[in-house]
Amino acid sequence: MEILTHLFNDTVEFYKWSLTIADKRVQKWPLMDNPLPTLAISSSYLLFLWLGPKYMKNREPFQLRKTLIVYNFSMVFLNFFIFKELFMAARSASYSYICQRVDYSDDPNEVRVAGALWWYFVSKGVEYLDTVFFILRKKFNQVSFLHVYHHCTMFTLWWIGIKWVAGGQSFFGAHMNAAIHVLMYLYYGLASCGPKIQKYLWWKKYLTIIQMIQFHVTIGHTALSLYVDCDFPHWMHYSLICYAITFIVLFGNFYYQTYRRQQPRRDASSSSSSSSSTSSASRAGKALANGTFNGLSSKAANGASAAGRGEDSKPQENPGRRKRKGRAKRD
């Protein structure tokens, strides 16, 4: 028990010390005074993951078509705003894409970068609605471990990023990720418009590829920063590399399971369907020929033979009658 008490006290003391080196510019910004609001939102998210499916178990799924259209296109505009702000502010501040230290001054461009990063952090909290909409629509198969891990960790960990390093090297990953999310939510928004638009959305697979490229670029960029001994917290660099590796593994597995593993099955099913369609077409051709023969020719033949039998029956009956008449006369 004493060990746990000491561990808890040491953790509290470390947190108090870390606040002395935190970014003073963001201290009074919403959600940034302490981690409790962020942890409360993430805990509520996890609680909804448990209670949501139970609530929807015996209920009809919500459609939410108009809601999804508004939400997805709103996220397109929000991520484009973040991308534009980071790009313009970093350009005005002459940021380096190889190594950029954090400037904690009140320079307008630096504050603009910090503000854009704060909006990026907020957008990760808003993205919790992705999961909420999946559950309300009873798309439970979409709520995978990758989905939950990605959403929950991004919002929680980016609080740390904004609290201590709202600028410098932090802009690179957020800048790239915001651009990718513009494309991603544009896809979701168009898909929400209905089947008339969905038939043109052939590029979903490439969104996953772009995301995996993003993580590889992040690792390469971070490793380069360590190589040149960039004036940025090294523990954050190492943590980011480990974090990106987990995404490469999870997204790689998702890509394999979704697009590679099912490819032979799709090819087999398509070949079997084509062969079955060919055989069904041949059977249909035979049925059509048989139908023509039985329906028309045989009817005509049967009709002709019936007519022939009708015509022939009279002469056959007449001789019999004549014979019987003749016998009667002879008798």
Report which of 218, 203, 223, 215 is spatially closest to residue 251, judged by C-alpha positions.
215
Residue 89 contacts residue 112 (beta carbons within 8 Å): yes
Report which of 28, 55, 213 is spatially closest to residue 137, judged by C-alpha positions.
55
| C-alpha to C-alpha distance for 331 and 328, rounded to whole angstroms | 5
Using CB atoms within 10 A of its CB, is residue 69 exposed (0-12), middle (13-18) or buried (19+)? middle
Residues 302-320: b if buried by 16+ CB within 10 A, e if exposed: eeeeeeeeeeeeeeeeeee
Residue 64 contacts residue 130 (beta carbons within 8 Å): no
Using CB atoms within 10 A of its CB, is residue 259 exposed (0-12), middle (13-18) or buried (19+)? middle
Instruction: DSSP for 194-255, please give it.
Output: -HHHHTT---HHHHHHHHHHHHHHHHHHHHHHHHTT-SS-HHHHHHHHHHHHHHHHHHHHHH
CB atoms inside a 10 Å sphere around CB 118: 21
Residue 168 contacts residue 25 (beta carbons within 8 Å): no
221 catalytically annotated: no
Report which of 165, 169, 161, 132 is spatially closest to residue 147, judged by C-alpha positions.
132
Query: Per the residue annotation, which of 6, 147, 150, 221 is the catalytic one?
Result: 150
Q: Which residue pairs from 104-111 have beta carbons closer than 8 angstroms and sit at least 24 positions apart in sequence?
A: 104/23, 104/24, 104/25, 104/167, 106/25, 110/167, 111/25
Residue 175 contacts residue 87 (beta carbons within 8 Å): yes
- Tell me the catalytic residues: 150
